[in-house]
């Protein structure tokens, strides 16, 4: 193995599948939600964005649905 490599001649190309894997969106979350996932993420060496994505993916796989019960305003 060489001691040094010349990477300036390397022809780097972007991953053509990267944009298909994840989609960037804007979402508004309560501060306590973000803090909760940040704390868990720090304890487990994972970013809070990845942690939220993992949790939501699990919800999709298991068919979890949020409990929504709307009360009509009088």
User: Can you tell me the distance from the alpha carbon of 27 to that of 40, in angstroms, rounded to the nearest whole number?
Assistant: 20
User: Can you tell me the distance from the alpha carbon of 31 to that of 19, in angstroms, rounded to the nearest whole number?
Assistant: 28
Cβ 47 vs Cβ 53: under 8 Å: no
pLDDT digit string, tens, across residues 29-41: 999 999 999 999 9
Residue 52 pLDDT greater than 80, yes or no: yes
User: Above pLDDT 90, what percent of the chain?
Assistant: 54
Residue 9 pLDDT greater than 90, yes or no: no
What are the tokens at 19?
Answer: 């944009």
User: Can you tell me the distance from the alpha carbon of 47 to that of 2, in angstroms, rounded to the nearest whole number?
Assistant: 35
Hey, where are the domains in the chain?
29-64
């Amino acid at each position: 193995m060489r001691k040094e490599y010349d990477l300036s001649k390397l022809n780097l190309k972007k991953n053509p599948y990267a944009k298909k894997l994840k989609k960037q969106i804007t979402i508004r979350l309560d501060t306590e939600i973000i803090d909760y996932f940040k704390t868990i993420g720090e304890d487990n060496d994972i970013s809070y964005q990845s942690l939220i994505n993992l949790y939501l993916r699990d919800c999709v796989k298991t068919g979890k649905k949020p409990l929504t019960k709307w009360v009509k305003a009088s």
